[in-house]
Amino acid sequence: AYYRGAMGIMLVYDITNEKSFDNIKNWIRNIEENASADVERMVLGNKCDMNDQRQVSKERGEKLAIDYGIKFLETSAKSSINVENAFLTLARDIMVRLNKKMNDKHPADGGGPVKISESRSKKSLFRCALL
């Protein structure tokens, strides 16, 4: 599977297409079978700018996410609504998990100060594969 070894997965459905929403459960099942157990997941209902053509209510998306213990957002790639927020949320959740793993393996001993310096540039720190 494409997501084997992935640290984060975004499942996106089209709020104007009921069938795309119905397929999310199949994708979740596939991820549960093939991805690592601690992979961060997020469900996105896209095209929230097209509310007049909506077939899937926001409440149904939220309920699905709650049922599977996954975060949920509605987005619009066309109107740039919540897209950056979705990526930043998923990236932050991945970083929190990685930091927790590091702390579990190497607990802080209360040693000396840690120097934090500014990054050299604001180049993208993450690479994404869109399937």
Q: According to the model, what pLDDT value does residue 110 have? A: 56
Alpha carbon distance 61, 24 (integer Å): 10
CA angle 23, 77, 32 (to 5 degrees): 30
8-105 CATH fold: Rossmann fold (3.40.50)
Q: What is the DSSP letter of 3?
A: T
Q: According to the model, what pLDDT value does residue 1 have? A: 58
Q: According to the model, what pLDDT value does residue 44 have? A: 98
Q: According to the model, what pLDDT value does residue 113 have? A: 61
Alpha carbon distance 124, 88 (integer Å): 12
Give average pLDDT by consecutive 10-residue segment, the chain, 131 residues: 84 98 96 91 98 98 97 97 98 94 72 60 56 56
Q: According to the model, what pLDDT value does residue 28 have? A: 95
Q: According to the model, what pLDDT value does residue 105 have? A: 77
Q: According to the model, what pLDDT value does residue 85 have? A: 98
